[in-house]
Structure 1
Amino acid sequence: MSDPAFDDEKEKPLDPAAERLQAKLKRLVLFSSLIMVAGLVAVFSAIIYKVNARSDSASAVSGAQMAATISVGPDARVLSTQVDGARLFMLVEEGTARALLQFDATTGKLLGRTDFVPR
């Protein structure tokens, strides 16, 4: 800025060795940029794949495939439920006792029962 004549000055041509070095550096920068772009594409592809794969496996049984009714004891109170694939787990309280019931989520059939007893 203090020397306005500097902008008007013509650039001197580079010697052949400097031109070769400059061309080599340009190729290196281009190659490095391509590698960086390929790496970013790979990372984002992996993230998108993982997100889509997780959402597909998490919804193994949809709401339309679930059993309409599941029978538990008359005095049972459902404390929590968990769906794992085609199985439904329920933690119920019957009076003072607790039990874990395992159902087939599509048919509603009782597959197993685990009673929790105090020691």
Structure 2
Amino acid sequence: MQRFQVEITAQEERPAPFPPSPTPPSALFLTQSKTRRRVSNKPLVVVVVVVVVVVVVVVVVVVVVVVVIVVVVVVVVIIIVVVVVVVVVVVVVVVVIIIVVVVVVVVAAAAAAVVVCGGGGD
């Protein structure tokens, strides 16, 4: 029994297989915090890149939609102006034709009256 206890005691007194760390705990903490910062910066960079890409895509989509809307509005306005001009021209032509017809009819009626009634008054 004594011998067993002596062996255990001898094993407990042996030095540790690895020497204690020469780096003081404060330096270890700094190294760990730098490592943590690097690791935590990568997801932050990814998030920033994703946000920038999403913002750029949204801006491009909004600009394209606005340009399409403006083009459609301009085309519709041009079509409306052309239709109004055509209608005005048609109305003016019809009115001129009506005026010419009325004048011709009045002149013809006057000429017929002159012919029927016998001309000048001697």
The bucket for the TM-score relative to the shorter chain is 0.3 to 0.5
Higher strand fraction (1 or 2):
1
TM-score by length of 1: 0.43
User: Which one has the largest radius of gyration?
Assistant: 2
Higher helix fraction (1 or 2):
2
TM-score by length of 2: 0.42
Bigger RCO (CA 8 Å, 6+ sep): 1
